[in-house]
Structure 1
Amino acid sequence: MNILCTICGRAGSQGIKNKNIRDFLGYPLPFYTLAALDLFMDKNPDINCDIVVNTDSVELIGLLSRKGLPSVSSIHRRKELGLDSTPKVLVIQNCLVEMEVKTNKRYDMILDLDITSPLRTVADIEALIKKKNQSIADVVFSVTDARRNPYFNMVKKTKTGYERVLSSNFNTRQEAPEIFDMNASLYAYSPEFLKSGKNIFEGSCDIIKMYDTAVLDLDHENDFEMMQAIAQYLFQMKPDFNELFLRVAGYI
């Protein structure tokens, strides 16, 4: 099986300055994404993985090109793919098109890993690939159990006051439909769907569930601080997260 692994990140940041190249517990944030792939490839030598970074950041390309790291191809992101309004799926599609030409390969799956979600394990990647192989879905992505439910304990403001986001007569959370949070960590695409240029939800979707406190959206400085606090606990207490940290530390 040939898998294209994409790492996409723009220069700068709206919320956290230069977050894609920030240090996380003393090591560059993108190293955690690279380490997860590195460990996965070590444990799955029968799967051929090519890694590519798509960015307009010279600093990010430099970080991921350091001696001693797994081999990473780079694509300089075109200006029209670096706008605030550019859907990420178009950037991933650009990775596929350019890497097919560069490697002369046909990829069976495209795996996208978000730089700002550093706490993923080999088991998460393996679960994603297994689900994609077993599913008829165009896209499989990672989720966590939602802590709030729009049918039960989430409200919105109206002209007359406040009401549930989604109208219902449910009296307990258990009665309401099961809800998940997309944690923006892992995505697996079929190459044919990716080339169609469609939005994720224009295709058929499936999910895998990840550790429910392992991923936060890194949009503000306090998010970064909380993520590091969670990471310190996981790296000390959970062997699969500890091996990730040890691989990152070994790059320096």
Structure 2
Amino acid sequence: MNILFTLCGRAGSKGYENKNLKTFLNIPLVYYSIAAIDMYIKNEARKEDCIDVVLNTDSGDLIDLVTKQTKILVDVIHREASLGGDAVPKVSVIKDCMIQMETKKDKKYNMVVDFDITSPLRTRKDVGNAIEKKAAREDADVVYSVTASRRNPYFNMVKEENGYFCKAIASEYTARQQAPVFYDMNASIYAYSVEALREKEAKVFFNDKCDAILMKDTGILDIDSEEDFELMQVIARYLFDTNNEYIRLYKAALSIKESTNI
């Protein structure tokens, strides 16, 4: 199977300035994503799999970070200005990665797997689970990672309406366990159908024909603020001390850092 891993990060950020360039527990944030790819290749991938990795960015500093490491060859695509705006769906950037890499490598991919740089705590098993499920679900346009939701729109989520607050979805449920089960998309792993990337409209991509894998909820936050960043480091320190899968991730990320002159 031909798999393309994509890492996409714009320069700057309105939510949290230069978040893709942050150092997370003394290791550049992006190295955790590269470490997860490295671990997948070494421990989960089949011998016959052909795997490429590409960074799509308009940030020279991010390019410098990624190309300094020597563990994995990462191709670089300099993001076009037309794909750099706040309103551009990330799916459009990933599609562009696929098209350009197919031309550059003279091959067709069977799957495109995107990692969000700001969700560093994914294990090799998480990656393997997503790829395995997408391979089994040819009918699904994407398999993405989720965590169990701590709030439920039928029970304990509310909205403001006509001067009052009310349940997000009106219901007569008196216990959370009675309500339909909801999940949070945790912005970590997305395993895409190449056909869907080519043909499906980006802005409605996640409205239908999706499947999911469940990840550890206490280990995952999408970093989009200084508060997120600080809390994630507290959680990560604990996991890197107590959980074998996350210990392996930390050691792999540290090894990538040590392969550079940083």
Q: TM-score, normalised by structure 2?
A: 0.94
Matched residue, 1:8: 8
After superposition, residues 191-206 of structure 1 pair within 5 angstroms as 191-198=194-201, 199-206=204-211
* 3-state DSSP of counterpart to 2:34: helix
Is residue 126 of structure 1 aligned with residue 128 of structure 2? Answer: yes
Q: CA separation in 2, counterparts of 1:34 and 1:204?
A: 28
Counterpart AA for 1:149: N
Unaligned runs of 5+ in 2: none
- Residue 250 (structure 2) aligned to one of 223, 226, 245: 245
Counterpart AA for 2:167: R
Matched residue, 2:80: 78
- Residue 163 (structure 1) aligned to one of 141, 155, 166: 166
Q: CA separation in 2, counterparts of 1:41 and 1:215?
A: 22
- State how many pairs are aligned: 252
After superposition, residues 77-226 of structure 1 pair within 5 angstroms as 77-135=79-137, 136-198=139-201, 199-226=204-231
Query: Displacement of 1:15 after TM fit?
Result: 2.4
Q: CA separation in 1, counterparts of 2:252 and 2:26?
A: 13
- Which segment drifts farther, 231-240 or 61-70? 61-70
Q: CA separation in 1, counterparts of 2:76 and 2:64?
A: 10
Q: State percent identity of aligned pairs.
A: 47
Matched residue, 1:227: 232
Q: Contact 1:139/1:203 (CA < 8 Å) preserved in 2?
A: no
Relative distance call for 1:28 and 1:75 in structure 2 (3 A) is same
Query: Displacement of 1:217 after TM fit?
Result: 2.3
Unaligned runs of 5+ in 1: none
- Which segment drifts farther, 41-50 or 101-110? 41-50
Question: CA-to-partner distance for each residue in 1:129-165, whole Å, 9 max, x for gaps?
Answer: 1110111211110000000000011111121522110
Query: Displacement of 1:45 after TM fit?
Result: 4.5
Counterpart AA for 1:75: I
Q: CA separation in 2, counterparts of 1:48 and 1:239?
A: 28
Counterpart AA for 2:35: A
Q: CA separation in 2, counterparts of 1:122 and 1:110?
A: 16
Query: Displacement of 1:67 after TM fit?
Result: 4.2
- Which segment drifts farther, 148-157 or 11-20? 11-20
Relative distance call for 1:67 and 1:133 in structure 2 (3 A) is closer
Q: CA separation in 1, counterparts of 2:230 and 2:165?
A: 33
Counterpart AA for 2:226: E
Relative distance call for 1:203 and 1:161 in structure 2 (3 A) is closer
Q: CA separation in 2, counterparts of 1:223 and 1:35?
A: 21
Runs of 4+ aligned residues of structure 1 deviating over 3 Å after TM superposition are: none
Q: Contact 1:117/1:184 (CA < 8 Å) preserved in 2?
A: yes
Q: CA separation in 2, counterparts of 1:115 and 1:216?
A: 12
Counterpart AA for 2:162: K
Q: CA separation in 2, counterparts of 1:124 and 1:8?
A: 19
- Which segment drifts farther, 239-248 or 62-71? 62-71
Q: Contact 1:89/1:197 (CA < 8 Å) preserved in 2?
A: no
Q: CA separation in 2, counterparts of 1:70 and 1:235?
A: 23
Is residue 68 of structure 1 aligned with residue 73 of structure 2? Answer: no
Q: CA separation in 2, counterparts of 1:157 and 1:16?
A: 27
